[in-house]
Amino acid sequence: MNDIQEIAMMKHRIAILLIKKQTTETYLESVTGKLNIFESDLIDVDQRVWPMQVQSLMLTHQKSSSAAATASSSTTTAATTMATDKEKKQIICENLLHQQLKEIDQSLKQYEKQLNNKQNSVIGFTSKMEEIVDSYVQQYGIKPIKIKCDLKIALIKYNYQSELLQRKFSQEQPNRYQEDVLSLVPFITSKYSTTWNIGQLINKIL
């Protein structure tokens, strides 16, 4: 692998980490209830929503720590209410996401330092050459991944808003007919939102 290829590889790794950071930040915003774009209203509901990917992360974490939890469960379960247990899981979840972001930032600093040293060590590596490398990395390495990431984030936001609407609706104590009508909303709106998302992604490709 020559010097230019090494530089391109480092830039690719940095770009991937930035995409991962963006996705993880979106997860954290959803988990902490800060993803809501609606104006505040009189219906107060818990705005913290765990995306499916975060739920999977928590399941993996719980399995890995199940042995330690089993040893102490007999003395703590009886005294722990359901609400308290939920809040504990919430804290653990937020800490896991913050830890992921911390690890991403550490990796970014490491790769950026390596990239800077490499570029400075290559004789004759001009800003024009760097632009060409950047363009190549974005076009053939990053663009497809970024499109996939944008779609994932759009779905996270859509599912977040859908969940909040359902919570607010449920708090209004709807009757059976209203519940049946609400059950059709995700099916109808998903068609429009999916079409809109695909249109946005096509524009990015073109």
pLDDT at 165: 87
pLDDT at residue 112 greater than cutoff 90 = yes
Q: pTM of this prediction?
A: 0.77
And the tokens for 107?
């990796």
pLDDT, residue 64, reads 80
Over residues 64-69, mean pLDDT: 64
CA angle 160/163/167 to nearest 5° reads 140
Whether 15 and 138 have beta carbons less than 8 Å apart is answered as yes
Which pLDDT score is estimated for 173? 72
Least confident of 4-18, 57-71, 136-150: 57-71
Tokens representing residue 129 in the block: 């050459």
pLDDT at 185 over 80: no
**Secondary structure of the chain in the HEC alphabet?**
CCHHHHHHHHHHHHHHHHHHHHHHHHHHHHHCCCCCCCCCCCCCCCCCCCCHHHHHHHHHHHHHCHHHHHHHHHHHCCCCCHHHHHHHHHHHHHHHHHHHHHHHHHHHHHHHHHHHHHHHHCCCCCHHHHHHHHHHHHHHHHHHHHHHHHHHHHHHHHHHHHHHHHHHHHHCCCCHHHHHHHHHHHHHHHHHHHHHHHHHHHHHHC
Residue 79: what pLDDT?
46
**pLDDT score, position 167:** 87
Asked whether the predicted pLDDT for residue 99 surpasses 60, the reply is yes
Condensed to tens digits (0 to 9), the pLDDT of residues 143-179 reads: 999 999 999 999 999 999 989 888 888 877 767 765 5
